[in-house]
């Protein structure tokens, strides 16, 4: 089965995400500022980077390396064009996280925003073990109603995602991370206009005794 994210145009995705009734692009942009600068890290890996939302907050002299990972090569081409001022530290890699985990480099911190929903907890554990970050910051969407895709003119563009979508909850994510020796150090919640909410959970790797 071809991953449906390869078929969704970036314009459709971003136009949906920034609708006033959805507001996920704007709210995540603000949340990412905090993700970038809360912890003392020199390298960050952003999983499912899409069009690079949030990268405008990156100060080039603060980091040695920023990795942008996505399964859609067209998304990554757009990121490189949009953020050419970061070309000395930004490296975009087209990687299928489900089947090509071993291709991921190491990083001090991994950011996974609205990403775990599409690979599942088990795959995410493998990704984190491979990249071995000290910190992990995740944003997941919690659905207060049955529908997990907000209504919009672009709604049916996302029909194929039903094949790969996993329902998320905070406790299951925390349990999955605890199994690979990461403990929760911070949580934040942001309500969305459509009754859904974004939950940020940050983890730190347990130090070996």
The pLDDT-based confidence of 193 (bands split at 50, 70, 90) is: confident
User: What CATH number has the domain bearing residue 25?
Assistant: 3.40.50.150
Q: How many domains does the chain have?
A: 1
Euclidean distance between CA atoms 129 and 107, whole angstroms: 11
Average pLDDT value for residue range 189-195:
85
Average pLDDT value for residue range 16-25:
82
Q: What angle do CA 171, 177, 181 make, to 5 degrees?
A: 135
In this predicted model, what pLDDT tens digit does every residue of 151-189 receive, in sequence order? 444 455 665 676 666 688 999 999 999 999 999 999 999
**Structural domain boundaries enclosing 103:** 4-205
What pLDDT was estimated at residue 209?
45
In this predicted model, what pLDDT tens digit does every residue of 125-157 receive, in sequence order? 999 999 999 999 999 998 766 554 544 444 556
């Amino acid at each position: 089965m071809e991953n449906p994210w390869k078929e969704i145009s970036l314009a459709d995705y971003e136009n949906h995400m920034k609708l006033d009734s959805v507001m996920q692009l704007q709210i995540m942009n603000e949340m990412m500022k905090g993700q970038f600068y809360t912890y003392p890290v020199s390298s960050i890996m952003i999983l499912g980077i899409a069009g690079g939302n949030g990268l405008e907050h990156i100060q080039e002299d603060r980091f040695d390396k920023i990795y942008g990972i996505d399964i859609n090569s067209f998304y990554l081409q757009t990121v490189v064009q949009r953020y050419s001022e970061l070309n000395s530290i930004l490296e975009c890699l087209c990687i299928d996280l489900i089947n090509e985990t071993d291709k991921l480099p190491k990083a001090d911190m991994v950011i996974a925003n609205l990403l775990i929903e599409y690979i599942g907890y088990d795959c995410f554990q493998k990704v984190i073990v491979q990249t071995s970050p000290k910190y992990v910051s995740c944003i997941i969407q919690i659905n207060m109603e049955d529908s997990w895709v907000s209504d919009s003119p672009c709604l049916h563009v996302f029909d194929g995602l039903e094949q790969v979508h996993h329902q998320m909850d905070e406790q299951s994510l925390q349990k999955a991370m605890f199994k690979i020796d990461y403990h929760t150090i911070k949580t934040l919640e942001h309500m969305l206009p459509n009754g859904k909410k974004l939950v940020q959970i940050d983890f730190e790797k347990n130090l070996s005794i």
